[in-house]
Copies of this chain bind each other. A is one copy, B any other.
Amino acid sequence: MIRIGDFARLGRVSVVTLRHYDEIGLLKPEYVDRTTGYRHYSVRQLARLNRIIALKDLGFSLKQIEQVLDGLTVGQLAGMLKMKRAQAEQSLASEQAKLQRIESRLLQIEMEDRMPDYDIVLKTTAPQQVSSRRITVPQNNEVPHYLGAAYEEVSRLISVAGAKQDGPCLTVWHQPADVVENEDVEAIIPVNRAIVGNDRVKVYELPATEVAAVVFHGSLEGLEPAHLALLSWMENNGYRMTGTYREIYHANDRENPANTVTEIQYPVERAS
């Protein structure tokens, strides 16, 4: 029988840890003095302590370790280990992605030698009921005019149907950002319930998508650097575009363009 300090030294853990394991019932001292409360361990308990440490090193929680020690079958243990393996593979991958993000950010800072202007975030969009009008615009400078008319048409259908707009307008661009002729664009307004469309205005559900997104402040003419930032972020972090990109007009202020807030979303997936 040895005292807690010696047992702690033996197992290379802290005394506090041993008291904690006692409290949760994971490793009870073999004998506790009733009057002093002193905990006494037997050297033989080192085996159990080592088993606990070994399982902890595999990523098990103390609760799971208790289950394992309280007699699991071999099959059950193997099952748990396979779960742990999957988890470890997961977190390995996410650590790798994180490292890549850090390096990409460092690269960005070193190249520009200043704080990056854009913060790209990965997120999953919520699915949404929308109505939209898809058009082709002959020339790039006509986009505002054509898009404005399209939005008005969609808006009219929504109010005629007695529904309501449910969130900011967005545009889906059905071709890469560098195409400037015969652009295929879709003017989209979220609606609060399913309404009936027609052959010009469609109504459907925009599905949830994983996107890389960036927020831009200012007049829409200055969007290009934000696109470039997204593209280089994707390249540096090993993502590739999986569909058409969107612009979401969160706030619009013609008088003070600095108050205009636009979000660009590129649907992405990991490239490797």
Which of B9, B50, B115 interacts with A77 by CB under 8 Å?
Answer: B115
Interface positions of A from 44 to 103, Cβ below 8 Å from B: 44, 46-47, 50-51, 53-55, 57-59, 74, 77-78, 81-82, 84-85, 88-89, 91-92, 95-96, 98-99, 101-103
By the criterion CB–CB under 8 Å, are A120 and B54 in contact? yes
Q: Which residues of chain B are near A217, meaning CB under 8 Å? A: 44, 47
Q: With A50-B121, A78-B110, A217-B47 in contact, do A105 and B250 touch (Cβ < 8 Å)?
A: no
Can you show 6 pairs from A to B with CB atoms below 8 A apart? Answer: A44-B259, A50-B215, A51-B119, A59-B98, A85-B99, A88-B95
Bound state CA distance, A82 and B107, in angstroms?
A: 11
Size of chain A's interface in residues, with CB distance under 8 A? 56
Question: Is A178's beta carbon under 8 Å from chain B?
Answer: no
Q: With A74-B114, A126-B9 in contact, do A250 and B106 touch (Cβ < 8 Å)?
A: no
Interface positions of A from 226 to 272, Cβ below 8 Å from B: 250-251, 259, 261, 263
Bound state CA distance, A215 and B7, in angstroms?
A: 14
Q: Which residues of chain B are near A51, meaning CB under 8 Å? A: 119
Query: Closest approach, in angstroms, between the C-beta of A61 and any C-beta of chain B?
Result: 14
Q: With A47-B119, A99-B92, A102-B58 in contact, do A74 and B109 touch (Cβ < 8 Å)?
A: yes
Query: Closest approach, in angstroms, between the C-beta of A115 and any C-beta of chain B?
Result: 6
By the criterion CB–CB under 8 Å, are B58 and A84 in contact? no
Name A259's closest neighbour in chain B (CB-CB). Answer: B44
Q: Which residues of chain B are near A57, meaning CB under 8 Å? A: 98, 101, 121-122
